[in-house]
Chain A
């Protein structure tokens, strides 16, 4: 049981490039989340999903897109990377809304 896995662990992008951060969970959780964590700040919710085919915006969605075609996968897409998107990104999942969340190991992204 791997829990929540994220790839890649690290990535450096140039301004304007695009990339997809991958997130997979094997716990059959319906709820999945993407957060970003900036120095001195708490975790900020980017997008979340309550099940396959359903996604919704969180607190800081601008510049990102998500999809949820399966229960297991919840990729986060950056279309035109900007320096403001330099951050550590965490994916999480939970069995029910408001339930304990299980976090992935994070992806450290730098945009230069």
Chain B
């Protein structure tokens, strides 16, 4: 059993604020790190697949970075909008292990 930890557990920000959260994972035997976005009453949707140390991926206002040597990935949201409200999950080791997620609420 591997520990994949996400912090913070929940976050409330004002519309327009930028925010970031963390996924920590074991640094040994790294294969890939996945980020998912999970809106209430829907299914998780893939955001990024990150495989190389130093990877940076971007999709619109959302970006992610990866540090495999120290075992963490950051997800950034620039200029948060209410539609960004969701739980953001990371997954490790062929997605066998998911973190508990960061619940983001963007207040209009």
Interface residues of A (CB under 8 A from B): 4, 33, 35, 40-45, 48, 58-59, 90, 94, 97-106
Report the bound CA distance from A90 to B89 in whole Å: 14
A48: chain B residues within 8 A (beta carbon): 96
Interface centre among A43, A90, A100, A105 (most CB of B within 10 A): A43
Q: Which of A59, A100, A104 contacts B49 (CB 8 A)?
A: A100
Asked whether B43 lies within 8 Å of A100 as measured between CB atoms, the reply is no
Q: Which of B32, B34, B46, B89 contacts A42 (CB 8 A)?
A: B89
Q: Which of A33, A41, A45, A104 contacts B43 (CB 8 A)?
A: A104
Question: B13-21, B62-70, B97-105: which lies at the A interface?
Answer: B97-105
Q: Name the residue of chain A whose CB is nearest to the CB of B46.
A: A100
Asked whether B43 lies within 8 Å of A40 as measured between CB atoms, the reply is no
Q: Name the residue of chain A whose CB is nearest to the CB of B48.
A: A100
Asked whether A42 lies within 8 Å of B43 as measured between CB atoms, the reply is no
Interface centre among B4, B42, B97 (most CB of A within 10 A): B97
- Chain B interface main SS type: loop
B27: chain A residues within 8 A (beta carbon): none
Q: Name the residue of chain B whose CB is nearest to the CB of A105.
A: B43
Report the bound CA distance from A44 to B34 in whole Å: 15
Report the bound CA distance from A90 to B101 in whole Å: 16
Report the bound CA distance from A40 to B9 in whole Å: 9
Report the bound CA distance from A71 to B91 in whole Å: 24
Report the bound CA distance from A48 to B99 in whole Å: 18
Asked whether B31 lies within 8 Å of A98 as measured between CB atoms, the reply is yes
Chain B's nearest CB lies how many Å from the CB of A2? 13
Report the bound CA distance from A106 to B1 in whole Å: 24
Report the bound CA distance from A101 to B89 in whole Å: 13
B100: chain A residues within 8 A (beta carbon): 40-42
Chain A's nearest CB lies how many Å from the CB of B12? 18
Report the bound CA distance from A105 to B99 in whole Å: 20
Report the bound CA distance from A90 to B43 in whole Å: 8
In the assembled complex, 23 residue pairs joining A and B whose CB atoms fall closer than 8 Å, in A order, are A35-B98, A40-B100, A41-B100, A42-B98, A43-B91, A45-B95, A45-B96, A59-B96, A90-B43, A90-B44, A94-B95, A98-B32, A98-B49, A98-B95, A99-B49, A100-B46, A100-B49, A101-B46, A101-B95, A102-B46, A103-B44, A103-B45, A104-B43
